Structures are given as C-alpha cells and as structure tokens.
C-alpha cells in the first residue's frame, strides 16, 4: 500500500535521527503520491529549537512547490505533532495528517492543546493516526533506553 511506504520512509528518517543523536522523529510531505519534502528531527545539529522534523519537511516541501500553501498535500510523521508543529500544519494548509505514535506528554493533536479543535483554528486537516505506531514507538523507546 503506498500509504505504508510513506510512513516507512518517515520511520527510516526517525532512525537516521537516532543515529545522529536527535530524538527520533521523521516526517515526509507528499503530493499526488510523490515525496516533495522530508526531514528528521534536527534541533541539536542545527542549534535550532524549531527544527522539528515536521517544520523542516514543510519548509522543504514549500520551497519545492514555490508556495507557502501546501494545499492538496499530506504530512506523514512518526509522532503526534507538538503545538508548534500543529500550528505550522495549519499555516501550511496541509490537507491530511498521518501520524504513527501518540504522544500524551508533548502531542497537541489528540492531547494537550488540541490545536485543530480550537475555535480560532483557521484550517483543520483530516487526521489519521496509528499507522506504523508499533515501529515508530519502538524507535523512540529504544533511543531513550540507550540514553538512560
């Protein structure tokens, strides 16, 4: 299934992040079944607290399209987006969000701030969660186990 292929790619990016010593989260932006931007979490490497996988992938996709609006695009990410990334997803007008693992502590889609459910939210993507959850969660758990 092509959808699984994109989540697989996001998980592979998360594994790359772990090897680089970054919290393992990966993100892929697609349009018409093609990858137009992808990234892994990189705040340490870039000394940039905003360098979450989703932000970097959205930025690359927007450059690739030559537009700040990513309508008709899908974002695939291995972990439930935080409030900052959920806000960026709104600004980018992402059509569909797919995320693998839930994040009850830092997530802001189905937990915490629930950004898309706020009355002032300008755009609400369709949200699908759980695809690839077991593997994405295992990559995160393994990372934190090794750090302890």
> Which residue's structure tokens are 């393992």?
24
To the nearest whole angstrom, how small is the minimum distance from the Cβ of residue 54 to Zn ion?
6
Select 66 or 75, whichever has its Cβ closest to Zn ion. 75
Among the residue ranges 1-9, 84-92, 113-121, 131-139, the one whose residues contact Zn ion (CB under 5 A): 84-92
**Binding residue count for Zn ion, defined by CB under 5 A:** 4
Torsion of Cα atoms, 62 then 64 then 67 then 73, to 10° = -60
Distance, in Å, from the CA atom of 148 to the CA atom of 137, rounded to the nearest integer, reads 17
Catalytic-labelled residue, pool 54, 74, 126, 138: 54
Establish whether 54 is a catalytic residue.
yes
Q: Is 52 in the site for Zn ion (CB under 5 A)?
A: yes
Q: Which of 13, 14, 29, 82 binds Zn ion (CB under 5 A)?
A: 82
Q: Write out the binding residues for Zn ion, residues 85-144 only, by CB under 5 A.
A: 85
CB atoms within 10 A of CB 144: 11
Both tokens of 17, joined, read 């992040």
To the nearest whole angstrom, how small is the minimum distance from the Cβ of residue 52 to Zn ion?
3
Where does the chain show beta strands of DSSP type E? 26-31, 34-40, 73-79, 96-101, 126-129
Catalytic residue numbers, as ranges = 54
């Amino acid at each position: 299934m092509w959808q699984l292929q994109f989540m697989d790619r996001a998980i592979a990016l998360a594994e790359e992040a772990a090897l680089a010593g970054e919290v393992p989260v990966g993100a892929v932006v697609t349009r018409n079944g093609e990858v137009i931007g992808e990234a892994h979490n990189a705040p340490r490497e870039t000394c940039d607290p905003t360098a979450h996988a989703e932000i970097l992938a959205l930025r690359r996709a927007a450059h690739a399209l030559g537009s700040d609006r990513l309508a008709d695009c899908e974002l695939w990410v291995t972990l439930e987006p935080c409030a900052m990334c959920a806000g960026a997803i709104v600004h980018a007008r992402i059509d569909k969000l797919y995320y693998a693992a839930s994040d009850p502590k830092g997530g802001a889609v189905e937990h915490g701030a629930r950004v898309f459910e706020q009355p002032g939210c300008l755009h609400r993507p369709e949200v699908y969660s759980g695809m690839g959850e077991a593997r994405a969660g295992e990559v995160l758990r393994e990372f934190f186990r090794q750090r302890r």
